[in-house]
Structure 1
Amino acid sequence: MNKDALIVGLALFAMFFGAGNLIFPPYLGMESGDLWPVGLVCFVFFDVVVSCVGVFAINKAGGSILAIQNALGKKAGLALNTAAIFCVGMLIAPPRCAATTFEMGIAPWFGDAIGLLPFSVAFFAVVLLLTMRSTRIIDVVGKVLTPLLVAGIVVMVIAGIACPLGPVGAPETDTVVADGVLAGYQTMDILAVVGFSILVQESVRAAGYRDKRSQMSVTARASLVACVLLAIIYGGLTYLGATSASVVPHNVSQAELITMIVWKLMGEAGVAVLGVVVGLACLTTAIGLCGATADYVERITMRRVSYRAALIAMVVISLLICNLGLTNIIALASPVLSVICPPFMTTVVLLLFRDRIRSTWAFKGAAAAAVAASLVLTLHELSGAFAFVEAAPLYAYGFAWLLPSAIGGVVGALLGRRFDSAASGVSAPKIEQVHN
C-alpha cells in the first residue's frame, strides 16, 4: 500500500461518510439486537461495497463521464449523469450537510443565538475556500480532515466498548436483513460515485500516474482503504446501537439516538465530540461533492464554464437551498432521489460486468425499466394513485423497481442480439463488395 493510495482512500472514506452514514448504523444496531452483525453485513454491502467498487468500475470502464455514456448512449448517459451529480452535488447533499451540522452541532449549544443563515454562510465559505483548487481537495480531506473525523468517531466507539450502555438483547424486528439492506440503500452514496470518480481520477493523475494500469492500481487500493475503514467504523457504530436498546426509549429518531448514546457514555464532553464529528463528516462530504460537481460542469461544457465559476455557482445555490431548513430539504429530496437512484444504481452495478455484457442494449433496457418503475412508484408514494404496485415483490423494502429492471435488462439483451446480428448480416456483403 503506497502513500498516494492511502491518502486517496482516506479522502474517499471521508467524502462518503456524511451525517446520514453516522446516524443509520446505531439505529440499525438498536433494532437488530444480538443479530447486529447480520444487519451490519447487509448494510455494508449495499452501501460500502457497491459504492467503493462502483468508483473503481466507473474509472475502469472509461472514466466517470464516459462510462455511463458508453453504456446508455451519449444523450441518455449525459442526462442520467447530470441528474445524479446535480442532485447529490448541489441540490440536496451539500445543503443537507450544512443544515444537519447546524441542527446537531450548533443549535443544541447556542439555541437561537446563531441563526441558520449566518452559520450556512460561514459553512459554505469554508467549503469554497477548501475547494478552489480541485487537485487539492483529496490532499486537504485525506491528510487533514479525515484523521480528525476518524479520531472523533474512534473516541466514541472506544468509550462504548469499554463501558457498554447495557447488554445486547434479542432483536426488536423480524426483518434484520431487510432493514440492513434498506439502510444501506437509503444512504444514496451510490449517486456520488460519478463525482467522486472525477476527483479520484484527477488526484491520481496529479500524483504522477500517467498510464491506465498504474492509475487503476492506485484507484483499486484506494477504494479498498475506503471500504475497509467504512466497514470498521460502521461496525463500531452499529455495536453502540445494539448496546443502547435497554437504556433508551425506542421511539427516538435516528439523530436523537446517536446524541443520547454519546450523552450517556461521555456527558457534555461526548456531545461536544459528536458535534465535531458531525461537522467534519458534513464538511468533508460537502467539499467533495461541490468540488466534484464543479469539475463535472467544467468537463461537460468543454471548459466554457470554468471550474471556479461553476464552484461559486454551486456554493451559492446550495447556500440558498440550505436555508429552506433540514425538514424541507429532506421532503423535497425524497421523490427526486427515488426516481434517479434506481436507474443509476442499476447501470453502475452492471458496469461491474461490462466485459461480459456484449451489447449496450442490456444497459439501456435495464435503466429504462428502472426509470419507468421508479416513476410509477414515486407517483404512488405521493398520491396513492397506483395501489397495484404494493403487491410487487420487495415493495416493502423499497426495491419494487428491481424486478422490472431485471426484466428490462433481459429484454434489452435479447433485442440487442437480434438487431446486432441483423446489422452484421447487412454490413457483411457491403464489406465484401468493397474488397472485391
Structure 2
Amino acid sequence: MNKNALVIGLALFAMFFGAGNLIFPPFLGLESGWDWPLGLACFVFVDVVISCVGVVAINRAGGSILSIEGVLGKRAALALNTAAILCTGVIIASPRTAATTYEMSIAPLLGDQIGLLPFSLLFFAVVLLFTLRPTRIVGIVGKVLTPVLVAGIVIMVVAGVANPLGPVTAPETATVVADGISAGYQTMDILAVVGFAIIVQESVRAAGYADGKSQLSVTARASLVACVLLTLVYGGLTYLGATAATVVSHDVNQATLITLITEQLMGQTGLVVLGVVVGFACLTTAVGLVGATAAYMERITDRRVSYRAALIAVVVIALAICNLGLTNIINLAAPVLSVICPPFMITVVLLLFRKHIHSTWTFKGAALAAVGASLLLTAHDLTGSLAFVEAAPLYSFGFSWLIPAVAGAAIGGLLGKRFDRNLLQAHN
C-alpha cells in the first residue's frame, strides 16, 4: 500500500467517522439481534461503500462542485446542494450534535441537574463565538480528539468481543434490511461526499501526483483504506449492540444505548472519558457545519445575506430543533433523508461511468425519477395511503426508488440523444 494513499485514507476515515455517527450501529445491532451481520451489511453499503465510491467517482469526473453541476445542470445542482447543506447545517446534523452531546456527555454524568434547553443555549453560544471569530483551536482540538475517540472505541470493542455483555438474541424487528438502509441514510455521509472528494483531490495533488491516472489510483486506494476501517469500526459497534439485548432496556434511544454499553464495559471512568471526548468532538463538528452553512448562504445570495446574519439565523433554527430532543430529531430526519439521499446516491454512482455516458439527460432522468419514487415511498411510510407503492420491486428492502431511477436514466439517455440530434440538425 502506497504511504500517501494510507495517510490520505486515514484522513478520509476521520472525515467520515463523526462522533455523531457512532450512535447508530449499536442501536442497529440491538434491533437486529442475531441478524446483525445483515443489518451491518446494508448499513455499510448505503453509508460507507456508496460514499467511498462517490469520492472516487467525483475525483474521476474532475473533483469539484462542478462535477454535480456539470451533469445535472445549474438549477438542479443548486437545489440538491442546498438541500444537503440545510440538512447538515440547520435541520438535522447541527441540532443532532448538540442533542447527542447532551445525551452522552451531560445527562449520564449530571442527570437532570442541567436540562436540554440551558445546555443547548450554552452549546450554540460557544458555536456562535467560534464561527464569528474563526480560530485554529477548533481544528487542533478536532485533530487531537478524533484519534482519541477511535482508540477508545477500539478498546471498547475489543473488551466487548473478549467478554460479551450477553448472548445475541432474536431480532426485535422484521425489517432488518430496511433499518440498516435507514441508519445508513442517518449518517448523511453521502451528502458530504462532494466536499470530502475536493479535499482528497487537493491532498493527492499536494502529495505530488500530477496526472489524472496516478491521482485516480491514489484516490481509489485511499478510499479503500477508509472503507475497510469504517467497516471494521462500525462492525464492532453493531456487534456490541447485538450483545446488549439482555442488559439494557429496549426503549433506550441511540445515545443512551452507547453510554450504557460504555459503562458496562469500561466503568464510570470510561463513561466520563467518552463523554468528554464526544462532547468536544461534536462541538468542533457543529462549528464546522454551522460555519460552512452560513458561508454557503452568503455565496448563493451574492452577499445579499451577510455571513453574520446567516450565522445567527442558522444557530437560532438549530437551537430550536435541538430542543425537540435526540429521538425526535432522528425521527424527523428519516423521511427527509429518504427523499434527499437517493438522488445523491444514483448521481455519484453514475459519475463513476461518466466517460461512457454521453448525455447529461441520463443523470437528470435518473435523479428526477429517484426523487419522485422516494417522495411516493416516504408519503406511503408516513400515511399508509399509497398501497400501490408496496408492489414496487425492492420495496421491502427500502430500495423501491432504484428501478425507477434506472428507468429514468435510460429514458433520459434516449431523450438526450433526440435533443442532441435535433440541435445538430438546427445548426446545419
Check whether TM > 0.5: yes
C-alpha contact (below 8 Å) 1:156/1:270 kept by paired residues: no
Aligned equivalents of 1:357, 1:313: Cα separation in 2 = 41
Structure 1 residues 23 and 312: alpha-carbon distance in aligned structure 2, compared to 1, 3 A threshold: same
Map 1:102-117 → 2, pairs under 5 A = 102-117=102-117
Matched, 1:70 2:75: no
Residue 107 of structure 1, CA deviation: 1.8
Residue 48 of structure 1, CA deviation: 0.7
Q: Which moved more, 1:129-138 or 1:65-74?
A: 129-138
Q: Which residue is 2:159 aligned to? A: 159
Residue 210 of structure 1, CA deviation: 9.1
Residue 401 of structure 1, CA deviation: 1.9
Residue 321 of structure 1, CA deviation: 3.3
Q: Which residue is 2:420 aligned to? A: 420
Structure 1 residues 219 and 283: alpha-carbon distance in aligned structure 2, compared to 1, 3 A threshold: farther
Q: Which residue is 1:96 aligned to? A: 96
Aligned equivalents of 1:169, 1:12: Cα separation in 2 = 35
Map 1:192-271 → 2, pairs under 5 A = 192-200=192-200, 213=212, 219-250=219-250, 252-271=252-271
Q: Which residue is 1:393 aligned to? A: 393
Amino acid at match of 2:102: F
Q: Which residue is 1:350 aligned to? A: 350
Q: Which runs of 5+ in 1 are unaligned?
A: 431-436
Aligned equivalents of 2:36, 2:382: Cα separation in 1 = 33
Aligned equivalents of 2:176, 2:135: Cα separation in 1 = 41
Residue 376 of structure 1, CA deviation: 2.4
Residue 351 of structure 1, CA deviation: 1.4
* SS of residue matched to 1:111: helix
Q: Which residue is 1:83 aligned to? A: 83
Residue 349 of structure 1, CA deviation: 1.9
Aligned equivalents of 1:221, 1:19: Cα separation in 2 = 24
* SS of residue matched to 1:289: helix
C-alpha contact (below 8 Å) 1:40/1:238 kept by paired residues: yes
Amino acid at match of 2:28: L
* SS of residue matched to 2:354: coil
Structure 1 residues 351 and 304: alpha-carbon distance in aligned structure 2, compared to 1, 3 A threshold: farther
* SS of residue matched to 1:358: coil
TM-score, normalised on structure 2? 0.83
Structure 1 residues 422 and 135: alpha-carbon distance in aligned structure 2, compared to 1, 3 A threshold: farther
Map 1:369-388 → 2, pairs under 5 A = 369-388=369-388
Q: Which moved more, 1:5-14 or 1:22-31?
A: 5-14
Structure 1 residues 16 and 123: alpha-carbon distance in aligned structure 2, compared to 1, 3 A threshold: farther
Map 1:279-298 → 2, pairs under 5 A = 279-297=279-297
Q: Which residue is 1:434 aligned to? A: none
Aligned equivalents of 1:407, 1:44: Cα separation in 2 = 25
Q: Which residue is 1:40 aligned to? A: 40
Per-residue CA deviation, residues 84-111 of structure 1 (Å, 9 max, x unaligned), is 1221222211111111211232123223
C-alpha contact (below 8 Å) 1:27/1:238 kept by paired residues: yes
Q: Which residue is 1:341 aligned to? A: 341
C-alpha contact (below 8 Å) 2:84/2:191 kept by paired residues: yes
* SS of residue matched to 1:164: coil
Amino acid at match of 1:385: S
Aligned equivalents of 1:226, 1:290: Cα separation in 2 = 25
* SS of residue matched to 2:243: helix
Amino acid at match of 2:343: P
Residue 32 of structure 1, CA deviation: 4.6
* SS of residue matched to 1:81: helix
Aligned equivalents of 1:281, 1:225: Cα separation in 2 = 22
Q: Which moved more, 1:134-143 or 1:194-203?
A: 134-143
Per-residue CA deviation, residues 356-393 of structure 1 (Å, 9 max, x unaligned), is 21111111111111222222233333334323223323
* Percent identity over paired residues: 73
Aligned equivalents of 2:304, 2:317: Cα separation in 1 = 20
TM-score, normalised on structure 1? 0.82
* Number of residue pairs the alignment of both structures matches: 427
* SS of residue matched to 1:166: coil
* SS of residue matched to 1:28: helix
Per-residue CA deviation, residues 288-315 of structure 1 (Å, 9 max, x unaligned), is 4334434544554567767677556544
Structure 1 residues 315 and 173: alpha-carbon distance in aligned structure 2, compared to 1, 3 A threshold: closer
Per-residue CA deviation, residues 23-77 of structure 1 (Å, 9 max, x unaligned), is 3222333455555444433322221111122133224323442111111111111
C-alpha contact (below 8 Å) 1:59/1:216 kept by paired residues: yes
C-alpha contact (below 8 Å) 2:166/2:246 kept by paired residues: yes
Matched, 1:55 2:40: no
C-alpha contact (below 8 Å) 1:11/1:138 kept by paired residues: no
Q: Which moved more, 1:111-120 or 1:307-316?
A: 307-316
Structure 1 residues 9 and 33: alpha-carbon distance in aligned structure 2, compared to 1, 3 A threshold: same
C-alpha contact (below 8 Å) 1:15/1:284 kept by paired residues: no
C-alpha contact (below 8 Å) 2:43/2:180 kept by paired residues: yes
